[in-house]
Structure 1
Amino acid sequence: MDTQTTDNSLNITRVFDAPRELVWKAWTNAEHALHWWGPKHHPATEIEWDARPGGHWRNCLQAVETGEAIWHGGVFREVVAPERLVFTFAWEAPGERGMETVVTVTFTEEKGKTRMVMHQVPFQSITERDGHDEGWNSTFDRLNEYLNS
């Protein structure tokens, strides 16, 4: 695992012991994503996933301890199978939508494994960026567990 940051961006690199096509399916198929999306303490309970350019996505994360539901979503800008996903990301609150970031995820085959590089930008604060860093890394731990199950 490798995380690199600037004040308003986040880069996370992971290598999964799984073929690129499988990692791609885990990212682009709602049935797969439901098994790993969200950090351990806020796993996804609902996923709406239309992985095509212009398609919308929306997910509900539910706090394990309190049951609080947190919605987030966006629009897929690029879907280049099995190499690249670009989508917008924003948290939702009743009656409002948070600041939008752009997430770019690339997938590279390396001797039967998959190198995934995720880049997210811009963040309004270091605190916001660091929260996403923690959340994404926990989410990618869950993805790794799912791919190896």
Structure 2
Amino acid sequence: MNAIQKLRQLVTEVNKGPASAMQAWPVIARLLPRMPLDQAEVARVCEARDPVGLDVLVTRLEKPGAQQEPKPDPAIAAVTHEEMKAAMHAFNKRLKLTRLNDESRLGGHYTTGGRASQIDAIQPPSEYPPPVWKALVAAGRLRDTGDGFYAPVENKT
């Protein structure tokens, strides 16, 4: 029995009556925060001991595809093709210069290491606002690596 099945079993125990619910809620309070759910909603359901909210959360876990698709951000939709093209050019130039700077670094030894740069993601140029970078990610031109860093998408041809 996996954790989601255990949670479904606990939902039925909570719905049976107050005696079985008293034993089930501590286990639910330990299992539910470990699940990939909105933690604020999890805390609310556990504190209020809300059986309907618990059922909704467990259903989301059982059917992750049933969740609604996020609505596209209007700021991303407003980005023009020319703006994306110029931002991509600036990104590639910044990445190239950052890698060159890393490769040409002199160490403490009398010769350089001659190693290739290991830099694969950078913070994008600040001349363009964040919606431009998000639009490039949505278009599949960049990959968001987290914490404000972006990496180019490798061509697999």
For normalisation by structure 2, the TM-score amounts to: 0.20
- Pick the structure with greater CA Rg: 2
Structure with larger RCO (C-alpha < 8 A, sep 6+): 1
Whichever structure has more strand as a proportion of its residues is 1
